[in-house]
Structure 1
Amino acid sequence: MWIEKNGPTWRIRDIVDGRKVTIEAGWPNKTSVKKRLTTLKADQIRGDFIDPRAGKLTVAEWVERWWPGHATGLKPTSVQSEGSRLRMHIVPLLGHLTLDEVNNIVIQAWVTKLMSGLPDLERPGKWARRPLSAKTVRSCHGLLHSLMKAAVQGRKIRTNPCGDTKLPELVPKEMRFLTETEAGRLHTAVPEHWRPLVLLLVSTGLRWGEAVGLQLKNLDVLGGRLTVVRAMHEMSDGSLIFGTPKTARGRRTVTFTPKVAAALTPLVVDKARDELIFKTTTGLPVRARNFRRGWLKWVEAAGLEGLRIHDLRHTQAAWLISKNVPLSAIAQRLGHSSIAVTDGIYGHLLPEVDAGILKAVTEALEHIDPEALAAELEAETVGDLLPEMADEAGGEIGER
């Protein structure tokens, strides 16, 4: 690199791919441009050099370069969701900016726009851009963070501007846990054709896609167990795809009771190994949107308005916790990526378990005489101390 006069100002030049190119221009005097050149050369020596021109790529241009490679490592459902976030929320609002123009202030303003939405001034009461939920905003920011991280790794910019963004707090949706009586009411309200599916969901904690994607070859009715190896997903274009479970530990074996086995038995008669266990009354795969229409009517009939299908999974976890099943076993049964996930979702239920433990201990101690117990403890303590006192005494005599 070298400096040279360029009209009334100075610039820094270099040879790239056999051609002379301008690295930076517009410096007012020779002293300032020489200081800048020294800094750039020092960065080269340390391996920290960032070509100032690289940051002039727009966010939209960088997305076009980055997305194809990033998408190859995603599941089809993630390609759909993340691609939608890019098209709907990142490129339209930030795509015109260059990479080096995107700083923390810009990102914070972008997050605010996503949260507050954009009213349609020509149509009062309507939205040009609807406000997004805290979860969606955080997902959009996470995708932008990955995009800018790749720009840092590609030496387009020096630091990731997404690091210090203040994000909206997540407000967890209220979980519903069915009692055994409520589960019975629901079972009665559900039409006979759908009872085996609902029973399996509430008694195993399977995710919706894992249940409706279950094939005969992965179900052992006589052994009372099934193997989760895939899940069915509905794409935005209406197509159905079968992919791997949500997490690596989602691939698992789940047991079920004889009652569930009895409900599933009629569904396996005269079916090929690759056939789906659950189908509609017309023999088609079960779609969540269509099933939900009936679900809303059934939960209302059971007096359980607002109950979501996913709450059946929560119910299974709550039942296990109430029986003091370890979180590690629950995490394995539900296919969580780690026990930390299970604790994060259901940890607030543990105080109830502790209360149950205390109650059991209290009942066990009911017939014990407190005075006799105190005397026994004292005797045990003295008995433990005597050998120690003897050893200490012997040591003192030896020293003397």
Structure 2
Amino acid sequence: MAYAEKRGKAWRVRYERPDGTYGSESGFPTKTAALKHGWKQETKVDEGKFIDPKAGRMTMGAWAKKWLGTIEVDELSEDTYRSRLNARILPRWEQVALSDIKTSDYKIWRKELRDGYSENYANEIVMVFRLILSDAVTEGLIGVNPVPVQGRRRGKYEPQDEEDDYVYPSPLQAFLLAENARVIRGLVGETMILTKAFTGMRLAELIALRREFCWIGPDRDPGDQHIRVEWQGHYRKGGFMLRPPKYHSRRTLILPPALADQLRKLLDSHDKEYVFPSAWGKPIRTDDQFYGRFWHPIVEGHDELPQIRGRKFRPEIPAVEGLEGMVPHGARHAQRVWLEEDDVREAAIDERMGHKVRRATGKGVATYRHVTPAMRKRIASTQQRRWERAAAELQKIISQKSPI
């Protein structure tokens, strides 16, 4: 039974907790206010809704460390959560007690994130923050998650631009990107861009592609040459790591004959294990240097670089018009668009992209949808036609620029 005690000028209440011991809270201006709070806490105990106020004094930093040890996700997801925590969440909230995190403070922080970073990155950080606090509620550390799920809200209505503004290349633009990549990384760079555009492979899958998973060569039927997506690669502190591809979407990709020829030429040019090795023969690191020294120049162009000690001469690289702001994933979008334009069956497209098929498209739709060899060979033939048209257009552009 709750009771109140006078402590100096304020009152303290003591109330029975679920385990039979007594908890206490101080600072009430009157005896009545203290007792009402104690009775309220004991009611929560009876209803199974009691949250010990002392539990909420755990800091975000302490809870985050414990939380990381409890989650059961794959290594890549855990790395992502840890990165978001260390980079953006803990610098702001590490020393704040869980019970002191207010919704208004969170909204101010969220606005700062959105002002300073891309929308997708900001949303990823908020998602991890919400998940951590949701698990704190489940653990009984706080009663309510201060990070609300986004829904209807008051405020000024801002209409959304419904136009699809995702940047992806046409086949000709893919060839122009490959030409720029050849200037920077030779045959490796050129072939990597063309392979990404004409297979739709994820970037992590490309860097993990090994020669043992390439079934190409003059001894094979030109219309029956394949590569196998078996792994995706990532660098961690321990070095280069191979993991199953996203959604465990291991798959075999049929190649247009021209791309198979390009890959065979590349494999004949080196003896490394990985199809697309770095300049030092190791798997490519897709870090800031990759984007700064390779990706951005092939998309946005680069001035001529004179030869200096430790660096070869590099001619001027022209920007590819219409691809401003494009990210590597844009080439993956392109593959799906090209296949849809060529009326390839949706099931065959999903298989090629390594997409997880959802059954919500209609009762039985996913169950009775299958991919046949004829569908896959249609992909090879449609991609071959696109390759040939784009290559012819590229040669026309090059001949027009050549001096007479």
TM range (shorter): 0.5 to 0.7
Whose RCO is larger (CA < 8 A, sep 6+)? 2
Q: 2:197 aligns with which of 198, 202, 223?
A: 202
Q: 1:304 aligns with which of 298, 307, 320?
A: 320
> 5 Å matches for 1:235-254?
235=236, 239-245=239-245, 247-254=246-253
> 5 Å matches for 1:263-302?
263-267=262-266, 275-280=273-278, 282-288=280-286, 292=291, 293-299=293-299, 300=301, 301=317
**In the alignment, is the contact (CA less than 8 A) between 1:219 and 1:227 conserved in 2?**
yes
SS of 2:69 mapped into structure 1:
helix
SS of 1:109 mapped into structure 2:
helix
- Superposed displacement of residue 145, structure 1: 0.3
**Aligned residue type for 2:320:** L
- Superposed displacement of residue 142, structure 1: 0.9
> 5 Å matches for 1:337-376?
337-338=356-357
Tell me the distance in 2 between the aligned counterparts of 1:244 and 1:308.
23
Tell me the distance in 1 between the aligned counterparts of 2:58 and 2:297.
53
Over 3 Å counting, the alpha-carbon distance change for 1:69 and 1:282 in structure 2 is same
> 5 Å matches for 1:1-400?
2-7=2-7, 9-14=11-16, 21-70=22-71, 73-76=73-76, 78-116=77-115, 131-164=116-149, 174-189=165-180, 190=182, 191-221=186-216, 222=220, 223-235=224-236, 239-245=239-245, 247-267=246-266, 275-280=273-278, 282-288=280-286, 292=291, 293-299=293-299, 300=301, 301=317, 304=320, 306=324, 308-338=327-357
Tell me the distance in 2 between the aligned counterparts of 1:89 and 1:22.
36
**In the alignment, is the contact (CA less than 8 A) between 1:185 and 1:302 conserved in 2?**
no
Cα deviation, 1:265-303, whole Å, max 9, x if unaligned, reads 34556999x932222454332233565534555554465
**In the alignment, is the contact (CA less than 8 A) between 1:56 and 1:98 conserved in 2?**
yes
Over 3 Å counting, the alpha-carbon distance change for 1:44 and 1:133 in structure 2 is same
Cα deviation, 1:103-150, whole Å, max 9, x if unaligned, reads 21121112123344xxxxxxxxxxxxxx22222221121111011101
**In the alignment, is the contact (CA less than 8 A) between 1:177 and 1:311 conserved in 2?**
yes
Tell me the distance in 2 between the aligned counterparts of 1:99 and 1:114.
20
**In the alignment, is the contact (CA less than 8 A) between 1:328 and 1:339 conserved in 2?**
no
Tell me the distance in 2 between the aligned counterparts of 1:175 and 1:85.
25
- Superposed displacement of residue 308, structure 1: 4.1
Over 3 Å counting, the alpha-carbon distance change for 1:154 and 1:181 in structure 2 is closer
Tell me the distance in 2 between the aligned counterparts of 1:134 and 1:176.
16
Over 3 Å counting, the alpha-carbon distance change for 1:64 and 1:176 in structure 2 is closer
Structure 2: runs of 5 or more not aligned: 302-316, 362-404
**In the alignment, is the contact (CA less than 8 A) between 2:188 and 2:276 conserved in 1?**
no
Cα deviation, 1:190-221, whole Å, max 9, x if unaligned, reads 33343332222111000111011012333322
**Aligned residue type for 2:166:** M
- Superposed displacement of residue 313, structure 1: 1.6
**In the alignment, is the contact (CA less than 8 A) between 1:197 and 1:211 conserved in 2?**
yes
- Greater CA drift, 167-176 or 299-308: 167-176
TM-score by length of 1: 0.67
Identity of aligned residues (%): 24
TM-score by length of 2: 0.67
Structure 1: runs of 5 or more not aligned: 117-130, 343-400
Over 3 Å counting, the alpha-carbon distance change for 1:182 and 1:340 in structure 2 is farther
Over 3 Å counting, the alpha-carbon distance change for 1:110 and 1:169 in structure 2 is farther
**In the alignment, is the contact (CA less than 8 A) between 1:210 and 1:231 conserved in 2?**
yes
